Chains A and B, each alone.
Chain A
Amino acid sequence: MIKSRHTVTLIPGDGIGPELLSHVREVFRYSCVPVDFEVVHVNSALASQDDMDNAITAIRRNGVALKGNIETKHTLPPSVKSRNNILRTSLDLYANVMHCQSLSGVQTRHKNIDIMIIRENTEGEYSNLEHESVSGVVESLKIITRNNSLRIAEYAFKLAREKGRRRVTAVHKANIMKLGDGLFLQCCKEVASGYPDITFDSMIVDNTTMQLVSKPQQFDVMVMPNLYGNVVSNVCAGLVGGPGLVPGANYGRDYAVFETATRNTGKSIAGRNIANPTAMLLASCMMLDHLKLNDYASLIRNGVLTTMNETRVVAHSRYWGLGTTSDVVQSVMKNIQSKGQLTAEL
């Protein structure tokens, strides 16, 4: 069935989420994108699950969501789990995908980075199974299963083949966690044997971070369990220019949720018109591609990349640039107008 208009769940979240997402809506309206947003709010200050249940139901209904990060308040008891985590596990969004590419207009220490990171998104250290066995002694369980490891490895190799990538590197700590990470590594090897056209190797996570900060160009596609994915994706995002630039996607069998790659709430910069809208805009483009609205995706993406690389309007960052969020958004829309016939009047 070819849809004329799509409905997407929008979760503003906390911190910079609401403002970034309102800019996405602005750009979508301007570009006449046939997407309607169903906004669902989640109040992170409440201990109750009702908000989250509503959000999850809405995503199940629409199939696709765009979200800001929901803050995890430390003042609430440990039984209240991270809302973002609950969302991922409830919808079984098992693959977190991040594409880190050097942008020509962004000054960084390392150039020519082009890494795809595929991170297992539902288990591992994020299993939420903790208990205090004896007073003062806490056990936290890291779960690794054959099914999920095979699944994520399969996803990684399939994506690598689809995108014409040459090499997949599994990141692990199997020398220490012999059974857990050992199982993960074993599963990757098994899947690799079904893709003889793609080179498979593995690297221990501490060496990986050391290699990333000295020679990141050696990496192509990387696949790993949850926590190492968290570390590696943040290192890579930092290497290509920061959290404001890189979009992220969470894919499951039936649902997809798009957000910024490093999932920052950005409380300290919220409401000041200085957050970089690039990551969220590019995430919305990934969402448009997922909805098969590829023309709109390309239009907006090119607008954003032209802003970054050519017109060089940059948002405020402690490392470079002193523009405002609105400056960047205006520039994006101008670039869109000059390219496409699909836009509304400015």
Chain B
Amino acid sequence: MEYVGNLHLLLRRFCTLVFSHNAFTYRCLSGMQTVTLIPGDGIGPEISTAVMKIFEAAKAPIQWEERNVTAIQGPGGKWMIPPDAKESMDKNKMGLKGPLKTPIAAGHPSMNLLLRKTFDLYANVRPCMSIEGYKTPYTDVDLVTIRENTEGEYSGIEHIIVDGVVQSIKLITETASKRIAEYAFEYARNNQRTSVTAVHKANIMRMSDGLFLRKCREVAENYKDVKFREMYLDTVCLNMVQDPTQFDVLVMPNLYGDILSDLCAGLIGGLGVTPSGNIGANGVAIFESVHGTAPDIAGLDMANPTALLLSAVMMLRHMGLHAYADKIQIACFDTIKDKKVLTGDLGGKSKCSEFTGEICRRVQDME
């Protein structure tokens, strides 16, 4: 028993050695990697099944551990995610999540917010790349928005000062700004991106955005191989809709990130085709589709699994499994480009299972 224990320890140490210190590439040599899967609500379960099928067809070394997240009240009345879900994520570090429904008047905060707080998911990363075959007025979009996800305008701190006067507090801290800036530059370096643009409104919010900008400038000093630019939020918006090809990696505080990441999703075709990843402290990363639960088509085999699939591909890249990521992404894009088997939202008439089947077939043909 002890011998096996030692061997396991040795293997883990070996894994740690090839685990680069900034935790962005992870090559575990022990074989299968377990990922926590949160199917979610509405169309969540069916698109999760689609992703699992495609991964199986690609023979990706992933095994899935399904968990549900519904808010439960712990001792002391504090809302939290179920302990088995937390345990699974803490153990596996990697997670894939489908859409969760936002409860109205359920008395508890949104599940996404709970997840964010539980795992300190400080960076929301959305790569936006034009999909050949899914035509939008914008072509050649290839940018990444990196949004600080814990503070800023989403601090949730609001007060009624006097009747009819409300104050909402935007919080910017040195630590969070430095952390997101460092992530952005590391991401740029590890993904062969050429520039990082800090998006801000420091002309108006002199102190808060000023602090954010200062931290970005400081971090940029340590990454001379990556070009650093700063641009006002309004100028970014103005230029983004005229020529998005001028942008590469964008880093920004919470609200601007929320707005810009959705704007960029709009450029490539909407939330149904946009991947998203949330990076947390302690090596945790949860990848998710950011569209809604679409209750009107749930269970009807009509959903489009592209967003969740591309998020899963993002996860594979994050884990260093680039070959599998490329294979699945190419199969997905080729299916869309071919236009023969497309789900309703992409302009076709096929079922989700047919679309999935087509991608599986292409993946297997690539063997």
Contact = CB atoms under 8 A, between A and B. Distances in A.
Interface string B193-228: 000000001111111111100000000000000000
A142 B157 CA distance: 11
B266 interface: yes
Contacts of B241: 212-213, 235, 238-239
Given A143-B167, A210-B263, A231 B258 contact: no
A234 B258 CA distance: 16
Contact of B168 (A179, A206, A243): A179
A82 interface: yes
B166 A125 contact: no
A230 B173 contact: no
B283 interface: no
A140 B158 contact: no
B132 interface: no
Given A213-B263, A264-B235, A139 B168 contact: no
Nearest to B261: A206
Contact of B239 (A145, A214, A227, A238): A238
A128, A210, A318 pick with most chain B CB within 10 angstroms: A210
B170 A145 contact: no
Interface stretch (A129-137, A157-165, A280-288): A129-137
Interface in B218-268: 233-235, 237-243, 255, 258-263, 265-267
Given A139-B171, A238-B240, A206 B262 contact: yes
Interface in A121-153: 125-126, 128, 130-132, 136-147
B175 interface: yes
Contact of A125 (B154, B205, B266, B271): B205
Contacts of A212: 241, 263, 266
Given A238-B240, A242-B242, A131 B259 contact: no
Given A82-B204, A206-B258, A177 B168 contact: yes
A138 B172 contact: yes
A84 to B, nearest CB: 9
Given A138-B171, A177-B158, A210 B265 contact: yes
Nearest to B165: A145
Contacts, number: 171
Contacts of A231: 233-234, 237, 259
A302 interface: no
A181 B137 CA distance: 32
A230 B200 CA distance: 12
A25 interface: no
Interface in A212-264: 212-214, 227, 230-231, 233-235, 237-239, 242-243, 262-264
A204 to B, nearest CB: 9
Report the interface size class on chain A.
35 or more
Contact of A82 (B166, B203, B259): B203
A205 interface: yes
B208 A262 contact: no
A113 to B, nearest CB: 11
A210 B241 CA distance: 11
A138 B259 contact: no
A205 B259 contact: yes
B158 A130 contact: no
B160 A179 contact: yes
A140 B205 contact: yes
B160 A139 contact: no
B207 A143 contact: no
A222 to B, nearest CB: 14
B172 A140 contact: yes
A210 B262 contact: yes
A109 interface: yes
B167 A262 contact: no
B174 interface: yes
Interface in A180-228: 180-181, 183, 205-207, 209-214, 227
Contacts of A72: 203-204
Contacts of B203: 72, 74, 82
B333 interface: no
Contact of B207 (A125, A138, A210, A233): A138
Contacts of B357: none
Contacts of A205: 259
A191 to B, nearest CB: 15
A178 interface: yes
Given A138-B207, A238-B238, A144 B270 contact: no
A78 B207 contact: yes
Contact of B237 (A142, A144, A179, A234): A234
B77 interface: no
B242 A319 contact: yes
B332 to A, nearest CB: 21
Given A209-B259, A212-B266, A213-B138, 12 more contacts: A80-B206, A146-B163, A146-B165, A177-B153, A206-B259, A210-B262, A227-B255, A231-B233, A231-B237, A234-B235, A235-B237, A238-B242
Q: Which 5 A-B pairs have the closest CB atoms?
A: A146-B164, A210-B266, A136-B174, A78-B206, A238-B241
24 contacts: A72-B204, A74-B210, A125-B153, A125-B205, A126-B204, A130-B205, A131-B207, A137-B171, A139-B169, A140-B169, A141-B168, A142-B153, A145-B165, A178-B158, A206-B261, A209-B263, A210-B266, A212-B263, A214-B266, A231-B234, A234-B237, A238-B239, A242-B242, A319-B243
Interface of A: 72, 74, 78-82, 85, 109-110, 125-126, 128, 130-132, 136-147, 173, 176-181, 183, 205-207, 209-214, 227, 230-231, 233-235, 237-239, 242-243, 262-264, 318-319
